[in-house]
Protein backbone atom coordinates (compact mmCIF):
# COMPACT_ATOMS: atom_id res chain seq x y z
CA UNK A 1 0.00 0.00 0.00
CA UNK A 2 0.93 3.64 -0.37
CA UNK A 3 0.31 5.32 2.99
CA UNK A 4 0.29 9.02 3.77
CA UNK A 5 1.58 9.96 7.22
CA UNK A 6 -0.15 12.93 8.81
CA UNK A 7 1.62 13.82 12.03
CA UNK A 8 1.02 16.54 14.59
CA UNK A 9 -0.05 17.34 18.09
CA UNK A 10 -3.77 17.39 17.19
CA UNK A 11 -4.65 19.38 20.30
CA UNK A 12 -7.42 19.31 19.17
CA UNK A 13 -7.88 17.81 15.72
CA UNK A 14 -10.02 20.07 13.51
CA UNK A 15 -11.65 20.15 10.09
CA UNK A 16 -8.54 21.67 8.50
CA UNK A 17 -6.58 18.54 9.40
CA UNK A 18 -9.25 16.33 7.86
CA UNK A 19 -9.53 18.31 4.62
CA UNK A 20 -5.73 18.27 4.27
CA UNK A 21 -5.66 14.51 4.72
CA UNK A 22 -8.52 13.89 2.29
CA UNK A 23 -7.07 16.10 -0.43
CA UNK A 24 -3.71 14.37 0.00
CA UNK A 25 -5.36 10.96 -0.21
CA UNK A 26 -7.26 11.83 -3.38
CA UNK A 27 -4.68 13.87 -5.30
CA UNK A 28 -1.69 11.69 -4.41
CA UNK A 29 -3.64 8.44 -4.94
CA UNK A 30 -2.93 7.15 -1.42
CA UNK A 31 -4.44 3.89 -0.24
CA UNK A 32 -4.62 5.11 3.35
CA UNK A 33 -3.77 8.11 5.51
CA UNK A 34 -2.44 7.43 9.00
CA UNK A 35 -2.87 10.11 11.63
CA UNK A 36 -0.01 9.88 14.11
CA UNK A 37 -0.36 12.08 17.21
CA UNK A 38 2.95 13.16 18.72
CA UNK A 39 3.43 11.90 22.25
CA UNK A 40 6.22 14.34 23.13
CA UNK A 41 6.49 16.97 20.37
CA UNK A 42 10.01 18.46 20.27
CA UNK A 43 8.82 21.95 19.31
CA UNK A 44 6.25 22.23 22.12
CA UNK A 45 8.23 21.23 25.18
CA UNK A 46 7.85 24.75 26.55
CA UNK A 47 4.07 24.44 26.94
CA UNK A 48 1.70 21.84 28.29
CA UNK A 49 -0.02 19.53 25.84
CA UNK A 50 -3.24 17.64 26.52
CA UNK A 51 -2.72 14.05 27.68
CA UNK A 52 -2.02 11.66 24.82
CA UNK A 53 -5.10 9.51 25.42
CA UNK A 54 -7.41 12.51 24.97
CA UNK A 55 -5.79 13.53 21.69
CA UNK A 56 -5.85 9.93 20.48
CA UNK A 57 -9.54 9.53 21.30
CA UNK A 58 -10.46 12.80 19.57
CA UNK A 59 -8.70 11.60 16.44
CA UNK A 60 -10.58 8.29 16.56
CA UNK A 61 -13.86 10.17 16.80
CA UNK A 62 -12.90 12.57 14.02
CA UNK A 63 -12.10 9.90 11.42
CA UNK A 64 -14.91 7.48 12.28
CA UNK A 65 -16.61 6.29 9.11
CA UNK A 66 -13.74 7.00 6.71
CA UNK A 67 -12.50 3.67 5.37
CA UNK A 68 -9.08 5.00 4.30
CA UNK A 69 -8.22 6.87 7.52
CA UNK A 70 -6.42 5.26 10.46
CA UNK A 71 -5.03 6.45 13.80
CA UNK A 72 -1.64 5.03 14.80
CA UNK A 73 -0.28 5.34 18.35
CA UNK A 74 3.30 4.32 17.50
CA UNK A 75 4.80 7.43 19.10
CA UNK A 76 3.29 6.62 22.49
CA UNK A 77 5.24 3.37 22.57
CA UNK A 78 8.66 4.95 22.06
CA UNK A 79 10.56 6.72 24.88
CA UNK A 80 11.94 10.21 24.53
CA UNK A 81 11.04 13.02 22.18
CA UNK A 82 8.84 12.19 19.19
CA UNK A 83 11.00 12.80 16.12
CA UNK A 84 9.53 12.34 12.66
CA UNK A 85 12.65 10.57 11.34
CA UNK A 86 12.45 7.96 14.10
CA UNK A 87 8.72 7.49 13.62
CA UNK A 88 9.07 6.93 9.87
CA UNK A 89 11.88 4.48 10.48
CA UNK A 90 9.70 2.54 12.93
CA UNK A 91 6.79 2.50 10.49
CA UNK A 92 9.01 1.23 7.69
CA UNK A 93 10.45 -1.53 9.88
CA UNK A 94 6.97 -2.66 10.95
CA UNK A 95 5.49 -2.48 7.45
CA UNK A 96 8.28 -3.45 5.05
CA UNK A 97 5.93 -4.02 2.11
CA UNK A 98 4.37 -0.54 2.20
CA UNK A 99 5.49 2.83 0.83
CA UNK A 100 5.17 5.90 3.04
CA UNK A 101 4.58 9.53 2.07
CA UNK A 102 5.03 12.28 4.63
CA UNK A 103 2.40 15.05 4.42
CA UNK A 104 3.69 18.55 5.18
CA UNK A 105 2.36 22.05 4.54
CA UNK A 106 4.40 24.41 2.37
CA UNK A 107 4.42 26.79 5.36
CA UNK A 108 6.34 24.16 7.37
CA UNK A 109 8.77 23.23 4.61
CA UNK A 110 11.33 25.95 5.50
CA UNK A 111 11.36 24.58 9.07
CA UNK A 112 12.23 21.11 7.81
CA UNK A 113 15.85 22.26 7.61
CA UNK A 114 15.92 22.56 11.40
CA UNK A 115 14.20 19.26 12.16
CA UNK A 116 16.00 16.24 13.53
CA UNK A 117 17.75 14.38 10.67
CA UNK A 118 15.77 15.97 7.80
CA UNK A 119 17.78 14.15 5.13
CA UNK A 120 16.78 10.84 6.73
CA UNK A 121 13.12 11.86 6.47
CA UNK A 122 13.55 12.25 2.71
CA UNK A 123 15.20 8.84 2.51
CA UNK A 124 12.33 7.16 4.32
CA UNK A 125 9.37 8.84 2.66
CA UNK A 126 8.30 10.88 -0.30
CA UNK A 127 7.08 14.37 0.60
CA UNK A 128 3.52 15.40 -0.12
CA UNK A 129 3.65 19.19 0.10
CA UNK A 130 0.27 20.84 0.66
CA UNK A 131 0.18 24.34 -0.80
CA UNK A 132 -0.49 27.10 1.74
CA UNK A 133 -1.48 30.61 0.77
CA UNK A 134 1.51 32.95 0.95
CA UNK A 135 4.03 30.11 1.15
CA UNK A 136 5.58 29.18 -2.21
CA UNK A 137 6.62 25.65 -2.97
CA UNK A 138 10.32 24.88 -2.93
CA UNK A 139 11.86 23.32 -5.99
CA UNK A 140 13.85 20.13 -5.58
CA UNK A 141 17.04 22.11 -6.05
CA UNK A 142 16.05 24.68 -3.37
CA UNK A 143 15.30 21.88 -0.93
CA UNK A 144 18.54 20.12 -1.81
CA UNK A 145 20.57 23.28 -1.15
CA UNK A 146 18.76 24.03 2.11
CA UNK A 147 19.47 20.53 3.42
CA UNK A 148 23.04 20.49 2.05
CA UNK A 149 22.40 17.29 0.13
CA UNK A 150 24.78 16.05 -2.57
CA UNK A 151 23.59 16.31 -6.16
CA UNK A 152 23.14 12.56 -6.47
CA UNK A 153 20.69 12.22 -3.56
CA UNK A 154 17.14 11.91 -4.94
CA UNK A 155 14.42 14.18 -3.59
CA UNK A 156 10.90 12.85 -3.96
CA UNK A 157 8.11 15.36 -3.56
CA UNK A 158 4.79 16.25 -5.10
CA UNK A 159 2.38 19.10 -4.52
CA UNK A 160 -1.23 18.96 -3.38
CA UNK A 161 -3.82 21.73 -3.60
CA UNK A 162 -6.35 22.39 -0.85
CA UNK A 163 -8.87 25.14 -0.09
CA UNK A 164 -7.85 27.82 2.36
CA UNK A 165 -9.18 26.88 5.80
CA UNK A 166 -8.04 29.27 8.50
CA UNK A 167 -8.50 27.11 11.59
CA UNK A 168 -5.81 26.67 14.22
CA UNK A 169 -5.72 24.40 17.24
CA UNK A 170 -4.47 27.27 19.42
CA UNK A 171 -7.54 29.35 18.53
CA UNK A 172 -9.79 26.39 19.29
CA UNK A 173 -8.18 25.99 22.71
CA UNK A 174 -8.77 29.69 23.39
CA UNK A 175 -12.38 29.35 22.28
CA UNK A 176 -12.98 26.37 24.55
CA UNK A 177 -11.31 28.15 27.46
CA UNK A 178 -13.58 31.19 27.10
CA UNK A 179 -16.79 29.32 26.36
CA UNK A 180 -17.04 30.25 22.70
CA UNK A 181 -18.48 27.95 20.06
CA UNK A 182 -16.47 25.23 18.33
CA UNK A 183 -19.37 24.29 16.08
CA UNK A 184 -18.39 23.60 12.44
CA UNK A 185 -14.70 24.03 13.30
CA UNK A 186 -14.24 20.51 14.65
CA UNK A 187 -16.32 17.36 14.05
CA UNK A 188 -19.40 17.31 16.28
CA UNK A 189 -18.15 14.23 18.15
CA UNK A 190 -14.89 16.03 18.96
CA UNK A 191 -16.81 19.09 20.15
CA UNK A 192 -18.86 16.90 22.50
CA UNK A 193 -15.72 15.16 23.77
CA UNK A 194 -14.09 18.50 24.60
CA UNK A 195 -17.22 19.61 26.45
CA UNK A 196 -17.64 16.32 28.33
CA UNK A 197 -14.02 16.19 29.51
CA UNK A 198 -13.77 19.94 30.04
CA UNK A 199 -10.59 20.13 28.01
CA UNK A 200 -8.74 23.46 27.81
CA UNK A 201 -10.80 24.95 30.65
CA UNK A 202 -7.71 25.95 32.62
CA UNK A 203 -6.17 27.90 29.73
CA UNK A 204 -6.12 31.66 30.14
The answer as to whether 112 is a domain residue is: yes
The pLDDT of residue 152 is 75
The answer as to whether 196 is a domain residue is: no
| pTM listed for this prediction | 0.92
Neighbouring residues of 139: CB distance < 8 A, sequence distance ≥ 6:
none
The answer as to whether 191 is a domain residue is: no
The answer as to whether 176 is a domain residue is: no
The answer as to whether 143 is a domain residue is: yes
3-state secondary structure 184-195: CCECHHHHHHHH
The pLDDT of residue 170 is 94
The answer as to whether 186 is a domain residue is: no
The pLDDT of residue 204 is 40
The pLDDT of residue 203 is 47
The answer as to whether 192 is a domain residue is: no
The pLDDT of residue 70 is 98
Quote the number of domains for the chain: 1
The answer as to whether 184 is a domain residue is: no
Closest CA to 128 of 154, 107, 151, 156: 156
Q: What whole-number distance in Å separates Cα of residue 140 and Cα of residue 151?
A: 10
Q: What whole-number distance in Å separates Cα of residue 149 and Cα of residue 131?
A: 23
The pLDDT of residue 40 is 82
**Residue 28 belongs to a domain with what CATH number?**
3.40.50.620
Q: Residues in the chain with pLDDT < 50? A: 203-204
Containing domain of residue 116, as a range? Answer: 2-165
Amino acid sequence: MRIGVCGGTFDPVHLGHLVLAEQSREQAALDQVWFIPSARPPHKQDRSVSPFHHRLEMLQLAIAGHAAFRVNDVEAERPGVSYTADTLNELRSRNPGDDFDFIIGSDCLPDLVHWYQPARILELAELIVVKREGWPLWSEEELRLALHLPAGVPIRQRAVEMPTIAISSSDLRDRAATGRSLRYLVPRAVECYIETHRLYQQQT
